[in-house]
Chain A
Amino acid sequence: MQFFFKTTYDQDLRLIQHRGQLIAYLLLLGALAAAPLLLSSYLQSQFVFVFIYAIVGVALMILTGFTGQGSLGHAAFLAIGAYTTAYLQSKGVPFAGAGLFALDLNLPWLGPGKLWLPHLGYFLWAGLLTGIIGAIVGFPALRLHGIYLLIATISFAFIVEEILARWESVTHGNEGLRVRALQAWGVEIPTNQVSFYYLCLAVLVLVIIGTLNLMRSPTGRAFIAIRDSETAAKSMGIDIAAYKVKSFAISAAITGLAGSLYAHKLSFISPEMFTLLLSIEFVMVIIIGGAIGLHGAVLGAIFIVMVDPLLTWVKDDVPSLAAGIANVLGLGAGRAQALEQSLNSIASAAGLKGAIYGVIIMLFILFEPMGLYGRWLKIKLFFQLFPLYKRASFKRQKTYVKTERNR
């Protein structure tokens, strides 16, 4: 077992605490860089989804995990990023690279005209615009808390969904929009290529490093202070209003970037893709991963993306497998067949996926409230302290219902 003695305050702030950590992360990065050479194209595409979900997870972690403000409206931010991408692309803006683009305006008192705007590619515009909208959503959040905030974000998401379906001149309504292959600096990057995988990986790594930097800055510490106690934060001189808006804006902007990648990954977007269920899925990412650190966002993203193929596999293979086992155990062919049939009928029941989702959420919150990352920390501590691990070190202290009415 290693001990790290901290001799300066800088050591608390370092992104990488010791050499072992550096080596581990470099190995992980190397493995991810080498992965496309080994993976099938299906798994490679699943990995891209993991990256995109992880980016959203990090964004939600900043808002929910670190600032303590719940949101069930992140699908709307994702949608804004995705639609900005599709719209600007149709105006001839590239993914990245400087230039000008024209917006056709028809102002009531000036007549039709063009508004020329500078751009650095629509990827950054997607982030910027979503960030601005996030800040606007954040303003009502100043006066709301807890459940009121949650319902305000849900309302916002519904309104965005309806606008996307009705504003046909921009969004083509329910017909949806096609997103063409990505172009950056004159190079085309088709979605199914390895280069798109690397692009998403790079964005994820940059977002994570940026967030780590944010969280060790005064801004990040203010976020955490607000989460732990608004009253205490206020009395330490933190401008709660400003920091809440900042948290919303940053979280929305990162989600907007993810939305841009998401649009390219799906290559077709329509309003019904960005419903409340998607927002719930994003919250599941951080609840299942564990809302205690950025690792949680990534682990949760892996879980949520991979649970789908896993369920399909269970559906297809488990009944015949079970029948095979029953045969070996000597139950007789007739009974084995009956077993296979009954399992098949359970597996093919409509809505099984929803039930399993629901059970997963409930079980995680009941038995693993710190999520997968919390489980990982427990396992790590078990081996670090090997014979001396005590279950009680992670036991939740007795909590009372803290009223949110008086604040």
Chain B
Amino acid sequence: MLDFIQQLVSGIALGCVYGLIALGFVLIYKATEVVNFAQGDLMMLGGFFAYTFISLLGLGYWWGFLLAVLSMGLFGMLIERLLVRPILGYPQFAIVMATIGLGYFLRSAAGMIWGTDDLKIDNPFASGVIRIGNLVLAHDKLSVIVATLILCATLYLFFNQTRLGTAMRATSENMLAAYYMGIPVKRVVSLIWAISAMVAACAGVLLAPITFIHTNVGLALGLKAFPAAVLGGFGSIPGALAGGVIIGVIETMAGFYLPAGWKDVAPYLVLLGVLLLRPEGLFGMVARKKV
């Protein structure tokens, strides 16, 4: 039982990271119907930015964290302007390939700039545990869960309580109608990319103590976060988080209780099963086209 809870907590922590990346997927998809395969690589880049600010420039953890997140926001806007805006409206497959190309490029560029070694960020949660009876919970895992909860609450308030958030929801509901209502759609989409990149950067910094930062971390996690987003229904923000946690828990449990090899496949098996039974994902909505 103790093992089970221990595994559950680390599964949830891993799942929160998947959920944060999946959240980035979903934000962008909802707004522009673009699936950003480079989301995991944005997370990787966020980690490297934080490493630069914290470890190389010595700015301290929280300042470095903030600067990394802000600069990733700018970077997201840059990507939107240069790569995504010109190809909006292309067949979806072409856009997916463009973001895959972007991912390739970011991975190699990061490898050239920061090298291919595993890097580590000094952080306040690195060691230290909470003991509840015999249960030992590490700070780094708990910090991921807490930070994810805070981030999600902030995003929820932002989308539901602010004017800009409402404009973003309107844009993702119907771009043309939002435009007619006087919403500056281009600027809103650009901001959504910024938010998505910032969320990815948060995931990257939070993940840094658990798995070190290296160039391929984004690809590996992005490919797991993707099923998470699909499982949650690809258009639903709580769904993305729930999907992430489900995938994370399944993966950790499969790694602990099942023979070797199941760990990597289990999320995909579950995903295929869910897609067969509910093609729109667990939390997705089906809208039928009316002619």
| A155 and B105 form a contact (CB under 8 A) | no
> A155: which B residues are within 8 A, CB to CB?
227, 268-269, 271-272
Binds B, one of A144-152, A200-208, A329-337, A382-390: A144-152
The number of chain B residues with a CB under 8 A from chain A is 55
Contact of A151 among B175, B227, B235, B289 (CB under 8 A): B227
Residue of B86, B234, B268, B289 with most partner-chain A CB within 10 A: B268
| B226 and A151 form a contact (CB under 8 A) | yes
- The answer to the question of B98 belonging to the interface, with a C-beta cut-off of 8 Å to chain A, is yes
Q: Report A325-381 residues with CB < 8 Å from chain B CB.
A: 349-355, 357-362, 365-366, 369
Residue of A147, A159, A360 with most partner-chain B CB within 10 A: A147
| A354 and B287 form a contact (CB under 8 A) | no
> B141: which A residues are within 8 A, CB to CB?
none
> A406: which B residues are within 8 A, CB to CB?
287-289
| B272 and A362 form a contact (CB under 8 A) | no
| A151 and B271 form a contact (CB under 8 A) | yes
- The answer to the question of A407 belonging to the interface, with a C-beta cut-off of 8 Å to chain B, is yes
Considering the complex, give the chain A residue whose CB is closest to the CB of B91. Answer: A68
| B105 and A358 form a contact (CB under 8 A) | yes
A-facing mask of B80-93, CB < 8 A → 1, else 0? 00010011111111
Cα separation A266 to B271 with both chains bound (whole Å): 33
Considering the complex, give the chain A residue whose CB is closest to the CB of B115. Answer: A350
Q: Report A255-280 residues with CB < 8 Å from chain B CB.
A: 276, 280
> A287: which B residues are within 8 A, CB to CB?
94, 97
Cα separation A402 to B174 with both chains bound (whole Å): 10
> B279: which A residues are within 8 A, CB to CB?
143-144, 148
Given A147-B230, A155-B227, A156-B272, is A403 in contact with B33 using a C-beta cutoff of 8 Å?
A: yes
Contact of A365 among B87, B89, B111, B175 (CB under 8 A): B87
Distance between B139 CB and nearest chain A CB, rounded to angstroms? 33
| B97 and A154 form a contact (CB under 8 A) | no
Q: Report B253-274 residues with CB < 8 Å from chain A CB.
A: 261, 264-265, 268-269, 271-272
List 12 A–B pairs whose Cβ atoms lie within 8 Å, in order of A's numbering. A70-B92, A147-B35, A147-B234, A154-B268, A162-B261, A350-B112, A351-B116, A351-B215, A365-B94, A365-B97, A365-B101, A405-B33
Interfacial residues, chain B to chain A (CB-CB below 8 A): 29, 32-33, 35, 83, 86-98, 100-109, 111-112, 116, 175-176, 215, 223, 226-227, 230, 234-235, 261, 264-265, 268-269, 271-272, 275-276, 279, 281, 287-289, 291
Interfacial residues, chain A to chain B (CB-CB below 8 A): 64, 68, 70, 140, 143-144, 146-148, 150-152, 154-156, 158-159, 162, 165-166, 231, 276, 280, 283-284, 287, 349-355, 357-362, 365-366, 369, 398-407
